[in-house]
Amino acid sequence: MEFCQVELSSLFFDIRRDTLYCEQPTSLKRRAARTVMDAVFERLTLWLSPLVPFTMEEAWTTRFPDAGSNTLRVFPDTPDTWANPAEAERWAKIQTVTSVVTGALEIERREKRMGAALEAAPRVYIRQDDLLAAFDGLDAAEVFRTSQATLVAGDGPASAFRLTDVPDIAVEPLKAEGKKCARSWRILPEVGQDPRYSDLSLRDAAAVAAWDAARG
């Protein structure tokens, strides 16, 4: 239950929701997310079967009505390379930074200065090199579930938000600038730059254009 609620629901699904909903169907990132979800589904329905057999049977047969009973399946081989301690350590660092961002945004919502996280464009100051390096190759805004985000090496101003147990991270909870994309709801300066779709970001405009072209 903890794995489903924390690692899957609060982390992986929450981060990848935008990719699944808004990227083009042919997008490698979207296809990769679906591959992970497929592997997780295949294993969870077996792992939990001894505890909740009827629920897992319903889940399996709803998705694969012609594949036979879930109770007749055998555990699939799981590659040893899937165990990646270095990547797990990396994401532990990312979650440490994210916890400070979340804390800063919670105060903004509580004080009615901001609503949803997508209204935010936090500027995050990170003093530790390894914490900053953990975000290499990632879209920080996607990780924080905000519209925009900026990572800065350094201490940050005295007025920035901090958690007492995470002294190396400071956050300025700035508001996102631009217009709201009607498809992803992200607030970006680029919304409307594609003349074909005046209310979409460039990413979403390209996705809709590809969808329209595929439909003929």
Among 146-150, 164-168, 210-214, the range of highest mean pLDDT:
146-150
The range of the structural domain enclosing residue 97 comes to 85-177
pLDDT in tens, 15-26: 999 999 999 989
pLDDT in tens, 169-190: 999 999 999 999 999 999 999 9
Q: What is the pLDDT of residue 49?
A: 95
Whether 91 and 173 share a structural domain: yes
Whether 21 and 62 share a structural domain: yes
**Mean pLDDT value across residues 65-85:** 93
Whether 141 and 172 share a structural domain: yes
Whether 15 and 29 share a structural domain: yes
Whether 109 and 70 share a structural domain: no
Whether 102 and 146 share a structural domain: yes
Residue 216 pLDDT more than 80? no
Whether 102 and 147 share a structural domain: yes
Residue 214 pLDDT more than 90? no
Which of 82, 108, 135 lies at the terminal end of a domain, its last residue?
Answer: 82
Whether 106 and 165 share a structural domain: yes
Which of 41, 57, 82 lies at the terminal end of a domain, its last residue?
Answer: 82
Q: What is the pLDDT of residue 215?
A: 84
Whether 115 and 97 share a structural domain: yes
CA separation, residue 140 to residues 72, 106, 144, 155 (Å)? 43, 18, 6, 18
Which of 65, 82, 99 lies at the terminal end of a domain, its last residue?
Answer: 82
In total, how many domains does the chain have? Answer: 3
pLDDT in tens, 112-162: 999 999 999 999 999 999 999 999 999 999 999 999 999 999 999 999 999
Whether 115 and 163 share a structural domain: yes
Residues of the chain above pLDDT 70, percent: 100
